[in-house]
């Protein structure tokens, strides 16, 4: 399938079959997400891959999202809760090493990032980091569709429970959005043959010339 056909094929799966996503395909999806667009390249979020069935059972208790427990894998996108100068300095060191530059050559860029990050309130940085995570989520959705791996993005979950069960706050992270990965159960999912409903392109997109 080409990209458009892959995106027509994908939908938010409601019921998953008991079939595992291969480690190869999972790695491709994670690599694509890691390569996703990110403001200034800072990547102020992390992805937690949850495979353990017992942990996922705890995460899914009382939820209206059975995909949390039924899918092959659950990806938890988590924003860095308190962006600091140390995060920026680690990024500068990584950039200098990757591009073969002296870290001093990045001083102007570093100062701009420090000014931006420290000039905002913590919660404003969390909101910004969350938006960055959603960009990564979009990339993961497309990458999965290209591999014929089904997916379900989810917002309506107990963030406090997720943070507690996964120990995210101790890692300086806050869960913001989920992505289930697996394969649709064609016999049980009521939406498996439903046509995708979208606006006509000439209504959705407006040209300014």
Q: What is the mean pLDDT of the chain?
A: 96
13 contacts 189 by C-beta, under 8 angstroms: yes
> Which homologous superfamily is 3-204 in?
NADH Oxidase (3.40.109.10)
Lowest mean pLDDT among 14-28, 57-71, 134-148: 57-71
CA angle 127, 133, 138 (to 5 degrees): 130
Arithmetic mean of pLDDT, 165-176: 97
What are 75-126's pLDDT values in tens digits? Answer: 999 999 999 999 999 999 999 999 999 999 999 999 999 999 999 999 999 9
Is the pLDDT at 1 greater than 80? The verdict is no
pTM of the model: 0.96
Establish how many alpha carbons lie within 13 A of residue 33's alpha carbon, considering only the half-sphere containing its beta carbon: 25
CB 45 within 8 A of CB 136: yes
Mean pLDDT confidence for 159-186: 97
Domain boundaries, the chain: 3-204
* Tokens 């995106």 sit on residue: 7
Is pLDDT of 63 > 90? no
pLDDT at 115: 96
């Amino acid at each position: 399938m080409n990209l458009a056909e892959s995106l027509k094929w994908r939908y938010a799966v409601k019921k998953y079959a008991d079939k595992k996503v291969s480690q190869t395909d999972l790695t491709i999806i994670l690599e694509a997400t890691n390569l996703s667009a990110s403001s200034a390249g800072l990547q102020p979020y992390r992805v937690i891959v949850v495979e353990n069935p017992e942990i996922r059972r705890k995460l899914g208790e009382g939820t209206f999202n059975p995909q949390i427990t039924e899918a092959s894998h659950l990806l938890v996108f988590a924003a860095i809760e308190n962006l600091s100068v140390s995060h920026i300095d680690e990024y500068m060191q990584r950039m200098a090493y990757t591009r073969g530059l002296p870290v001093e050559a990045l001083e102007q860029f570093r100062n701009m990032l420090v000014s931006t990050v420290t000039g905002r309130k913590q919660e404003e940085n969390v909101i910004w980091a969350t938006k960055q995570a959603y960009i990564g989520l979009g990339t993961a959705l497309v990458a999965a569709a290209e591999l014929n791996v089904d997916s379900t993005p989810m917002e309506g979950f107990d963030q406090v429970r997720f943070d507690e069960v996964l120990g995210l706050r101790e890692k300086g992270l806050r869960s913001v959005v989920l992505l289930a990965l697996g394969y649709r159960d064609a016999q049980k999912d009521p939406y498996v043959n439903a046509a995708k409903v979208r606006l006509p392109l000439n209504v959705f997109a407006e040209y300014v010339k």
